[in-house]
Structure 1
Amino acid sequence: MGKAKVAPLHGHCIPRFELCAAVLAVQISETVSTELDIDRNLFRFFSDSKVVLVGIDTFGPWSIVTRKTRGGQANSKRWALLFTCLSTRAIHIEVIEELSLSSFINALRRFIALRGSIKEIRSDRGANFVGSVVNLNIASINVEEGPVHKCLEDKQTVWIFNPHIPHIWEECGNA
């Protein structure tokens, strides 16, 4: 019999690797402390498993059929929120129903629940973010105060706006 074309999933995951690395670090510290006659209380171990940098971009809309009725089809639009890890270039896509503040906050919360907390978010003040100023009837986009700031402050996350030039997260959205 030939091998399957799809490799089986292994039980390896990031938390397991972090645990193995922590056990190895403790074993190495014991060896170092006995060889060099250093007090074990001087060793400090910490883990930073957070996603450090994330780029955010939105793209869409797509017209999709949400349900079929007797008279025809009911269409609606969906957008995608693209999260890009700037260290590994891994991408995560969240589908949102509308370009609203509550949809964005919910998508951000889903991302943090799945991937872990974020230290820093980077995005530009491009058309998707600046264009929502007109739709929301507000003076400007300001994450320094309001519901987005509260959500980010709870997670100890900083949002930095870059000038509008093509970035890694936009390249992933155009692919």
Structure 2
Amino acid sequence: MGDLPPDRVRAIRPFAGVGTDFAGPFLVKSSNIRNARSHKAYLCVFVCLSTKAVHLELVSALSTEAFLATLGRFVSRHGLPDLIRSDCGTNYKGTDRYLKEVVEFLSSHRTYLGNAMSKRGIQWKFDPPACPHWGGIFEAVVKVAKTHLRRVIGEAILTFEELATVFCKIEAVLNSRPLCPLSSDPNDLEVLTPGHFLIGQPLNALPEYPFRETSASRLSRFALLQQMTQSFWRRWSLEYLHLLQQRVKWSDRTEPPRVGDLVLIKEPNALPLYWRRGRIVKLLYGADGVPRVAEVLVEDSVLQRAVATLSRLPIYSRT
């Protein structure tokens, strides 16, 4: 595997270099009154190339004015970036018919957007056609939108404000994911997250009543949004932990966990933005000499968990 491009390893403030992409469309309605007219809206994704922090914006239309307004809101909150990377749009060909609107927008406005950004001191780089792996860092967020968001929202049609609220909560969920340990102290269980780069500490959520098992027809609109956010958290957090557990062929052994490793503990019923973590203090081995069970030190107790339910952080170095 080649080295990361220079844009990904710059020691610079968050969102100085960003990748952007679109996802959607999502149907939104003008109000909650009966027979309210619905229309399409889109998700605009901004991902920091160096810290992996995410910013999600709901866009009312695929037009130059709507995108520049979205970019203006982003700049007002995070400052002016010096680099923007995006897909030129041609690698969307072959996807479902709805994304043709995204292709047309990006293709027809490519020159205008590049010129407009250069006047503001922003360098806009378009990835080559048919090379989605060039923008893997922001294509991954679009994948989340395509899979989990559509399953969570389902057939429900939200208002523009409601969908924007869901996107903001999902943004906090994505920015709460652990990246690496904050220190090598064996008694320190704190981890570095994208939220640390944004506010200097982990992102937290307001306490909510669990609505996972409640029928959507019995919920108020506000409770329905909470249920959607909780459902997204449950789906995505478990998927994220699975991604950290690399599975390879039996002929290729992965590095086993060791005593002292900081790990994430899989908790299917964890509250949103709460990643339970601990440090391995003892390993129990099977007859084949492979660690199967671990004793994990959490805040004030020691838990016994199967190694398969523990995940090391995505950026981890042993000292």
Aligned position for 1:51: 15
Q: Secondary structure at the match of 1:171?
A: helix
String of CA shifts for 1:23-73, please: whole Å, max 9, x gaps. Answer: xxxxxxxxxxxxxxxxxxxxxxxxx64733210100011112222456x22
Stretches of structure 1 lacking an aligned partner (at least 5 in a row): 1-47
Alignment of 1:130-145 (within 5 A): 131-132=100-101, 140-141=107-108, 143-144=110-111
Aligned match of 1:123 in 86, 104, 111?
Answer: 86
Aligned to 2:120, which of 147, 151, 155?
A: 155
SS at match of 2:121: coil
Tell me, in whole angstroms, the C-alpha distance in 2 between the residues paired with 1:64 and 1:133. 18
Does 2:129 correspond to 1:165?
no
Q: Is the 8 A contact 1:118 1:155 kept in 2?
A: no
Tell me the distance in 1 between the aligned counterparts of 2:109 and 2:38: 33
The separation in 1 between residues aligned to 2:110 and 2:139, in whole angstroms, is: 20
SS at match of 1:104: helix
Once residues 79 and 32 of structure 2 are traced to their aligned partners in structure 1, the CA distance between those partners, rounded to angstroms, is: 37
Residue identity opposite 1:162 in structure 2: D
1:169 Cα deviation after fit: 0.3
CA change 1:134–1:94 in 2 (3 A) is closer
State the AA in 1 paired with 2:137: I
2:17–2:82 contact (8 Å) kept in structure 1: yes
TM-score between both structures, scaled by the size of structure 2: 0.34
Partner of 2:43: 80
Higher strand proportion (structure 1 or 2): 1
Q: Could you tell me which amino acid in structure 1 is paired with residue 18 of structure 2?
A: V
Asked whether the equivalents of residues 14 and 50 of structure 2 are also in contact (C-alpha less than 8 Å), the reply is no
Determine the C-alpha separation between the residues in 2 that align with 1:56 and 1:133: 13
Does structure 1 conserve the Cα–Cα contact (< 8 Å) formed by 2:14 and 2:53?
A: no
Distance 1:96 1:134, change over 3 A: closer
- Structure scoring higher RCO (CA < 8 A, sep ≥ 6) equals 1
CA RMSD of aligned residues (A): 2.8
Q: Where in structure 1 do 4 or more consecutive aligned residues deviate above 6 Å?
A: none
* Partner-residue secondary structure (3-state), 2:51: coil
